[in-house]
Amino acid sequence: MRRLLVTGGAGFIGSNFVHHVLEHTDDHVTVLDKLTYAGNLASLDNLPRERFDFVEGDIADAALVDGLFSRVDAVVHYAAESHNDNSLHDPRPFLDTNIIGTYTLLEAARKHDRRFHHISTDEVYGDLELDDPDRFTEQTPYNPSSPYSSTKAGSDLLVRAWVRSFGVNATISNCSNNYGPYQHVEKFIPRQITNVIRGVRPRLYGAGENVRDWIHADDHSSAVLTILDRGEIGETYLIGADGEKNNKEVVELILELMGEPRDAYDHVTDRAGHDLRYAIDSTKLRTDLGWQPAYGDFESGLAATIRWYRDNEDWWAATKDHVEAFYASKGQ
């Protein structure tokens, strides 16, 4: 039985990975999470307690991290401050967690000689023009555009430096936009789904032309596990499922799948600095490691996600009230 430490495992993508590992392997998982607003212990309910532990704490706490690394075989690092708008309002937490926190983990991986996988984002590459046929690859130059994406780019570079300078056994993955169960209802897809469930018209930023490359969180999880098991040390792998859709298409498909008219939404003022397009080329991951997504198309993954939010209103209802009150104060 391998012993895994998953940082940020009470967050959206991290909790999906924990569920995936416990369902598909014999590994034992310890989650380390600070339980900021994005962490939710309810996302870890009903897990087999003989194979799962939870530790509340900060990845920048060197003593805590050192003790945990001494008891595990490998670490998957999801923990991050990741909300773009929040990074524009107050960048400091992003530096503390994404830079200092990652440094603290790398030093522990170096000391204890532990396998380390670092989760990152395609936002480190900036954005693409809407009519640009190119997609991000592992060779795309970094061009971050916000405090969030800048600190994630910085954390990626720290990992690469610790591999080269100190021989840390690390890999990196940069992923496109995730959707699926346990995602905070402030985020684009769950906000629209839960609005429709409550009889509220979805709201679309600007003209809705901004494009994201969507991947179901379970497919992201299977890719990360594949990299952890078979990835080459020092390499970076881009994770994507060929799910490019603009925001208008996503809202209209949500409405259609939920039995509503495709035009039953309203436009609101666009976000400042809203990146135009992200697109991932995951050829290296598929060719070198043999990974394939389980959800062959975006519509099937979205339908499964809608079912989950319909069936789990007790998970999101209280948070939804706070989120909508905040957006209402901003006219969004």
Reported as a single tens digit per residue, the pLDDT across 50-77 is: 999 999 999 999 999 999 999 999 999 9
In a domain, 17, yes or no: yes
Q: How far is CA 192 from CA 172, 208, 251, 265, in A?
A: 31, 13, 7, 9
In a domain, 332, yes or no: no
66 is catalytic: no
The DSSP bridge pattern shows strands 203-205 and 74-77 to be unpaired
Domain that holds residue 55: 3-178+215-239
Full-prediction pTM beyond 0.75? yes
CATH of the domain at 67: 3.40.50.720
Which pairs with CB-CB distance under 8 Å and at least 24 residues apart come from 281-284?
281/135, 281/136, 281/137, 281/238, 281/240, 282/223, 282/237, 282/238, 282/239, 282/240, 282/241, 282/242, 283/137, 284/137, 284/138, 284/237, 284/238
In a domain, 107, yes or no: yes
In a domain, 234, yes or no: yes
In a domain, 195, yes or no: no
148 is catalytic: yes
How much helix, strand and coil, in percent to the nearest 5, is found in the chain?
45, 20, 35
In a domain, 263, yes or no: no
**Active-site choice (125, 148, 179, 295):** 148
278 is catalytic: no
**Active-site choice (33, 122, 186, 219):** 122
Reported as a single tens digit per residue, the pLDDT across 147-190 is: 999 999 999 999 999 999 999 999 999 999 999 999 999 999 99
CA distance 89 to 70: 37
In a domain, 305, yes or no: no
Average pLDDT score, the chain: 95
Number of domains in the chain: 1
Q: What percent of the chain has pLDDT over 70?
A: 98
**Active-site choice (58, 123, 156, 219):** 123
Q: Nearest Cα to 158, choosing from 222, 239, 103?
A: 103
In a domain, 66, yes or no: yes
